[in-house]
């Protein structure tokens, strides 16, 4: 038995050797040559220096093309306090006309008119409960004010119309009093009044008193004053003192007296022969 095993082992060795030799010949026949291109290291920095090579039949992929190096970034610190525009000579600068506006909305509007001074804004004095002593004369708070720009119509002045005389001054004063109606008047007078008559411009609210008097014919405009045109219009329209006398025909007549008025007695006490008679129905005085 042992001899049989020894014989088999001796036969197996030559067989295995033959198989190894046959396998080596087979692998060697399948091998192929691999060609590797040589790259110059100096040509890597210059991509244009590398020339294209004929593609080689190889199973190994070609290496990727090298990327160009990124440029270096240079920066410097700037101090905001010392930054200034570049200095340019004067002869290089030229002032040009501004461009035209893009639309009408960009155009500047006309300047606003100056604010008109109202009676409450000026340096005047308010006179409360004014009294018109004539058309154009005002007394209040110790002041005697003549409205400036007008000729005052006196209270006793009379006017003539077609040969008829009528009291135009009294009529003008009555109309002026109805216009005032006890309203406060603002006049350009000093804060404290005096005994002399002061000529000043006066208003009631926004109404110019002098303008109202002249345009309604209750006063005449002063020569060279601001109300001359208003007087001309009032004369043309025959207003106020320039108009006809008031018609009093429609007023009822005064009633006629029916008899003489009774005479009042000298004394309210009853008298008998000049002696005073005491009443008899009075009780006696208490003791």
- State the CATH number of the domain containing residue 161: 2.40.50.90
Helices and strands in the chain: count of H runs, count of E runs: 4, 14
Residue 249 lies in a domain: no
Q: What is the pLDDT of residues 23-51, one digit of tens each?
A: 655 545 555 555 555 666 565 555 544 44
Q: Does some domain include residue 234?
A: yes
28 inside domain: no
* 137 located within any domain: yes
State the pLDDT at residue 119.
44
Higher pLDDT, 221 or 114: 221
The CA distance from 278 to 285, in Å, is: 13
84-88, 116-120, 130-134, 259-263 — which one is most confidently predicted on average? 130-134
Evaluate whether residue 75 is within a structural domain: no
Residue 202, domain extent = 125-242
Question: How many independent structural domains does the chain possess?
Answer: 1
Say how far apart CA 155 and CA 141 lie, in whole Å. 21
Q: Does 195 fall in a domain?
A: yes
- Give the containing element (helix H, strand E) for 204: strand 202-204
185 occurs within a structural domain: yes
267, part of any domain: no
């Amino acid at each position: 038995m042992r001899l049989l095993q020894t014989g088999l082992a001796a036969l197996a060795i030559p067989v295995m050797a033959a198989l190894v030799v046959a396998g080596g010949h087979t692998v060697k026949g399948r091998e192929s040559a691999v060609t590797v291109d040589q790259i110059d290291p100096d040509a890597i920095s210059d991509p244009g220096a590398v020339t294209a090579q004929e593609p080689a039949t190889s199973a190994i992929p070609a290496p990727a093309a090298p990327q160009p190096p990124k440029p270096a970034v240079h920066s410097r610190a700037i101090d905001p306090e010392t930054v200034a525009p570049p200095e340019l000579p004067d002869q290089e600068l030229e002032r040009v006309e501004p461009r035209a506006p893009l639309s009408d909305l960009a155009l500047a509007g006309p300047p606003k008119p100056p604010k008109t001074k109202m009676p409450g804004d000026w340096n005047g004095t308010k006179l409360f409960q004014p009294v018109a002593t004539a058309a154009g004369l005002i007394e209040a708070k110790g002041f005697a004010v003549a409205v400036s720009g007008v000729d005052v119509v006196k209270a006793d002045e009379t006017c003539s119309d077609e040969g008829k005389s009528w009291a135009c001054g009294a009529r003008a004063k009555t109309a002026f009093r109805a216009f005032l109606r006890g309203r406060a008047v603002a006049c350009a007078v000093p804060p404290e009044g005096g005994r002399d008559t002061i000529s000043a411009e006066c208003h009631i609210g926004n109404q110019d008193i002098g303008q109202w008097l002249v345009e309604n014919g209750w006063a005449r405009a002063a020569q060279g004053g601001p109300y001359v045109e208003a007087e001309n219009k009032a004369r043309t329209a025959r207003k106020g003192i320039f108009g006809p006398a008031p018609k009093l025909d429609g007023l009822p007549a005064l009633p006629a007296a029916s008899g003489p008025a009774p005479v009042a007695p000298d004394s309210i006490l009853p008298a008998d022969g000049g002696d005073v008679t005491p009443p008899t129905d009075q009780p006696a005085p208490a003791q």
